[in-house]
Amino acid sequence: MTDKESKEIQVKPKHELTSPAEQTRPGLIFTPNVDIFETETEITLLADMPGVSANNLTIDLRDNVLTLTGEVDPFEEANEEDILIEYEIGKYHRQFNLSSVIDQSKIDAKLSDGVLRLSLPKVEEATPRKIEVKTG
């Protein structure tokens, strides 16, 4: 986005999460790529989670820790044989510490084309306010 629009996308291998909490089920875990940006009223998080459907996605927010977990169903049918495998699939998992206080009742999550858009509105008290200094 910084330079010209016609920039070519470079191959970026998926990042495997190396030591999450101890696992009870086998399988690979990847960290999704995210964009996080903040305005005065809300924090928005965009995460690339290809292959995750809405009912396989868990978003959890407690004690200011936001956890995203997405399960991906295996893509292959049983009778298919691999010819070329360049990427592997697995669970997506990522945690964030949120500094501002989030209004939990107004959180909004949308998943379209494998991209999660999560809006986290700040509570009224946390939005910055200009303090007027009185004289006298």
Partner 1 sequence: MLYRRFFNVPDWGFSKSFREFDRLRRQMDELFGAVSGGTLAMPSAGVFPLINVTEDTNNYHIRAELPGIKSNELDIQVTTDGISISGERKIPVEGNNVRYHRREREAGTFSRSISLPGEIDVNKVEASMVNGVLTVTIPKSEAAKPRQITVK
Q: Residues 22, 86, 125, 132: which binds partner 1 (CB under 8 A)?
A: 86
Cβ 134 to partner 1 shortest distance, Å: 29
Residue 53 found at the interface with partner 1 (CB under 8 A): yes
Say how far apart CA 117 and CA 127 lie, in whole Å: 21
Nearer Cβ to partner 1, position 29 or 107?
Answer: 29
30, 92 contact by CB (below 8 A) = yes
Beta strands 108-112; 115-121: pairing state: antiparallel
- Does the footprint of partner 1 cover residue 125 (CB under 8 A)? no
Smallest distance, partner 1 to C-beta of residue 32, A? 9
Tokens of 51: 């292959």
Which run of H or E residues covers position 96? strand 91-97
Binding residues with partner 1: total (CB under 8 A)? 48
Residue 63 touches partner 1, criterion: CB under 8 A: no
As to burial, measured by CB atoms within 10 angstroms (0-12 exposed, 13-18 middle, 19+ buried), residue 87 is exposed
- Given the rule CB under 8 A, which residues bind partner 1? 1, 5-18, 33-40, 44, 46, 48-53, 75-77, 79-88, 111, 113-115
